[in-house]
């Protein structure tokens, strides 16, 4: 009996490796940075590291897809609770956040299945998804 052929049909498949010295993108001068780890144009998913200085406040937002957060260091105030280093948080599609605050210098891994929209009392202000993150990563690589 012949063995099943499990070789990939797509010859473009390759690991994506992000090195420790790859650039962080400053998203809020002196307060917040993003290191884009992966963007998936075929799925809309993305993964990034976030680094926030103590006192940084991320605006209110809504998750348009599920997301996973793992706190690497520091402490964040999220929806009336606190996440600390070593904590994991699963956020389902549709969850609303008021402002999220860095109570200490913090870093966290964030894996999202899609977009996040930001809003204020007047309506939507911006959104974040794989396309925006890929543009940020490309711009940082070209500087």
Q: How confident is the model at residue 33 (pLDDT cuts 50, 70, 90)?
A: very high
Residue 105 lies in a domain: yes
Q: How confident is the model at residue 141 (pLDDT cuts 50, 70, 90)?
A: confident
- Residue 7 has a pLDDT of 80
On the 0-12 / 13-18 / 19+ scale of CB atoms within 10 A, 21 is: exposed
Read off the CATH number of the domain in which 67 is found.
2.60.120.10
**When comparing pLDDT for 109 and 22, which is higher?**
109
Q: What percent of the chain has pLDDT over 70?
A: 99
The whole-number average pLDDT for the span 17-42 is: 91
Residue 2 lies in a domain: no
Domain holding 89, by residue range, is: 29-141
The whole-number average pLDDT for the span 30-45 is: 94
User: What is the tally of structural domains in the chain?
Assistant: 1
Residue 10 lies in a domain: no
- Residue 18 has a pLDDT of 79
**When comparing pLDDT for 16 and 137, which is higher?**
137
Q: Where are the alpha helices (DSSP H) in the chain?
A: 130-141
Cα gap 70→113, rounded to integer Å: 15
User: Could you read off the pLDDT of 88-104 as tens digits, one per residue?
Assistant: 999 999 999 889 999 99
Q: Is the pLDDT of residue 21 over 90?
A: no
Specify the pTM: 0.89
- Residue 75 has a pLDDT of 98
């Amino acid at each position: 009996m012949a063995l099943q052929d499990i070789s990939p049909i797509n010859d473009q498949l390759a690991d994506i490796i992000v090195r420790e010295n790859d650039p962080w993108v400053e998203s809020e001068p002196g307060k917040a940075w993003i290191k884009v780890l992966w963007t998936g144009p075929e799925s809309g998913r993305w993964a990034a590291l976030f680094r926030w200085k103590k006192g940084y406040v991320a605006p209110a937002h809504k998750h348009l897809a599920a997301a996973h957060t793992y706190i690497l260091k520091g402490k964040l105030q999220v929806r009336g609770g606190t996440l600390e280093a070593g904590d994991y948080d699963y956020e389902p599609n549709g969850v609303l956040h008021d402002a999220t605050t860095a109570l200490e210098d913090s870093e966290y891994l964030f894996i999202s299945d899609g977009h996040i929209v930001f809003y204020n009392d007047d309506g939507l202000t911006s959104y974040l998804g794989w396309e925006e993150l890929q543009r940020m990563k490309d711009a940082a690589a070209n500087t």
